[in-house]
């Protein structure tokens, strides 16, 4: 099946600081998947569960969050709060009989580094394997 | 406060099956404080209901609104502004709120999004514990302020049962034996001697065993 997933990435200012340099051209040059839409937040602790759910409502096939390492978040507990909210939405997805792994949390060091690219490639591969979002069925 | 938690989504989706216009109605009272049914939780639920229905291949308009409280007539009356706009109200209030809407809006469909669980307080962030059973006959002045009706699994009135081990309850080892707590606290308050008096047999009619309860304050009625 020819399927290019729509993947939304929410990442904090710090984890994505260098990644977004020069309008993201550096990122693309490193083969960061083009089907990932990146939204920067001041802190992933600012992320609400509704933001994650809205991404799915808007047609995302997969969503992931990149925040600071849990023990070195710039805002102390921001990325821990984000991880809790991701876990809560994963639980709700499971209740709806949808693969919880369509939503993931990553804790990465700040700056542009191979792990940031690898997380994107991992999500891309995962969502391609899972297929299109089950929320995108055409309504009767 | 009244503590509640969201029902399983499958149960909620079954309630609103076939509804094309749904109003998820938050309450700014207790359920906001216990993070079960305030505006934030109503927004989350509305999104989940939309997604759940989308997954089943159906669509519905799911919006949110909130009332200061759902347990007072004047606030329920403000639902007039939505008259005819929704097939169902999905209330994120406690059971009291759902009952109030059902009583006051005889022709409207109202469904509970929450399971109302207990009267309690926030022991720490994200954790609530039952502290009161609303039994209608408070004995806290005899027990150092700790309630044996709500916090003893057997609601014993004259000390712990034989299952109290190392200060823990035999029903759930994670639960402190409230009678051990009462004994220790009364000791610290130098009131342990008071515990030698036998509590009389209780009249449980005040606890709802005599049917639904009602309180009238003549000085407030007009």
pLDDT digits (tens, 9 = 90+) for B5-36: 999 999 999 999 999 999 999 999 999 999 99
Residue B132 has what pLDDT?
98
Name the residue ranges covered by the structural domains of chain B.
Answer: 2-118, 133-205
Query: Does the pLDDT of residue B133 top 50, yes or no?
Result: yes
Query: Does the pLDDT of residue B177 top 90, yes or no?
Result: yes
As given in the structure block, the two tokens for residue A90 are: 């994963």
Provide the 10 A C-beta neighbour count for residue B82.
15
Name the residue ranges covered by the structural domains of chain A.
Answer: 7-130
Residue A113 has what pLDDT?
84
Query: Does the pLDDT of residue B174 top 80, yes or no?
Result: yes
Give the angle subtended at the CA of A97 by the CAs of A92 and A101, to the nearest 5°. Answer: 70
What b/e sequence results for B98-112 when a residue is b if at least 16 CB atoms lie within 10 Å of its CB, and e otherwise?
bbbbbeebeebbbbb
Residue A140 has what pLDDT?
45
Ramachandran assignment for B172, one of left (phi > 0), alpha (psi -120 to 50 degrees), beta (any other): beta
B8: which chain A residues are within 8 Å (Cβ-Cβ)?
A: 95
pLDDT digits (tens, 9 = 90+) for A79-94: 999 999 999 999 999 9
Sign of CA dihedral B154, B155, B159, B164: positive
Residue A13 has what pLDDT?
85
Distance CA A78, CA A48 (A): 12
Compute CA B171 distance to the chain's CA centroid, rounded to the nearest angstrom: 22
Distance CA B27, CA B102 (A): 15
User: Mean pLDDT of all residues in chain A?
Assistant: 91
Which of A96, A97, A99, A136 has the highest number of chain B CBs within 10 A, making it the mutation to test binding with B?
A96
Residue A19 has what pLDDT?
64
Cross-chain CB nearest to A92 (options B40, B48, B50)? B48
Rg over CA atoms, chain B: 22
Confirm or reject CATH 3.40.50 for domain A7-130, answering yes or no: yes
What is the arithmetic mean of pLDDT over A41-47? Answer: 94
A132: which chain B residues are within 8 Å (Cβ-Cβ)?
A: none
pLDDT digits (tens, 9 = 90+) for A84-121: 999 999 999 999 999 999 999 999 998 788 899 999 99
Q: What is the DSSP letter of B165?
A: B
Residue A26 has what pLDDT?
79
Query: Does the pLDDT of residue B179 top 50, yes or no?
Result: yes
In Å, how far are A108, B19, B54 from A73, measured between CA atoms?
10, 44, 36
Element (H or E) spanning B31, and its range? Answer: helix B30-33
pLDDT digits (tens, 9 = 90+) for B52-92: 999 999 989 999 999 999 999 999 999 999 999 999 999 99
State the architecture of B2-118 in CATH terms: 3-Layer(aba) Sandwich (3.40)
Give the angle subtended at the CA of B207 by the CAs of B206 and B210, to the nearest 5°. Answer: 65
Query: Does the pLDDT of residue A20 top 80, yes or no?
Result: no
Residue A2 has what pLDDT?
83
- A1 part of contact set with chain B, CB < 8 Å: no
Q: Do A96 and B52 touch (CB under 8 A)?
A: yes
**Is the model more confident about B204 or about A25?**
B204
- This complex has an ipTM of 0.93
Query: Does the pLDDT of residue B111 top 60, yes or no?
Result: yes
Residue B38 to chain A, least CA–CA distance (Å): 14
């Amino acid at each position: 099946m020819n399927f290019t997933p729509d993947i939304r990435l929410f990442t904090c200012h710090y984890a994505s600081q260098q990644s977004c340099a020069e309008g993201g051209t550096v990122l693309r040059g490193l083969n960061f998947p083009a089907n990932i839409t990146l939204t920067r937040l001041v802190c992933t602790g600012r992320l609400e569960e509704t933001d994650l759910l809205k991404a799915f409502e808007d047609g995302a096939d997969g969503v992931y969050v990149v925040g600071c390492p849990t023990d070195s978040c710039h805002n102390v507990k921001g990325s821990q709060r984000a991880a809790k909210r991701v876990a809560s939405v994963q639980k709700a997805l499971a209740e709806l009989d949808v693969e919880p792994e369509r939503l993931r949390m990553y804790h990465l060091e700040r700056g542009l580094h191979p792990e940031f690219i690898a997380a994107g490639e991992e999500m891309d591969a995962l969502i391609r394997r899972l297929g299109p979002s089950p929320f995108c069925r055409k309504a009767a | 406060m009244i503590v509640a938690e969201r029902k399983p989504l499958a149960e909620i989706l079954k309630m609103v099956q076939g509804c094309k216009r749904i109003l998820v109605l938050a309450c700014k009272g207790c359920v906001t404080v216990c993070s079960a049914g305030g505006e934030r939780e109503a927004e989350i639920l509305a999104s989940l209901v939309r997604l759940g229905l989308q997954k089943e291949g159906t669509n519905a308009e799911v919006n949110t609104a909130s009332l200061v409280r759902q347990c007072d007539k004047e606030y329920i009356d403000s639902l007039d502004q939505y008259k005819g706009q929704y097939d169902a109200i999905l209330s994120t209030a406690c059971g009291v709120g759902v009952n109030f809407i059902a009583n006051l809006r005889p022709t409207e469909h109202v469904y509970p999004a929450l399971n109302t669980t207990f009267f309690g307080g926030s022991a720490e962030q994200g954790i609530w514990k039952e502290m009161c059973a609303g039994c209608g006959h408070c004995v806290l002045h005899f027990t150092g302020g700790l309630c044996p009706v709500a916090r003893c699994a057997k609601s014993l009135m004259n000390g712990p049962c034989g299952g109290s081990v190392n200060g823990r309850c035999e029903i759930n080892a994670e639960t402190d034996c409230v009678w051990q707590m009462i004994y220790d606290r009364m000791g610290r308050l130098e009131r342990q001697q008071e515990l030698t008096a036998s509590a009389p047999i209780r009249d449980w009619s005040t606890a709802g065993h005599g049917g639904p309860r009602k309180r009238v304050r003549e000085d407030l009625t007009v």
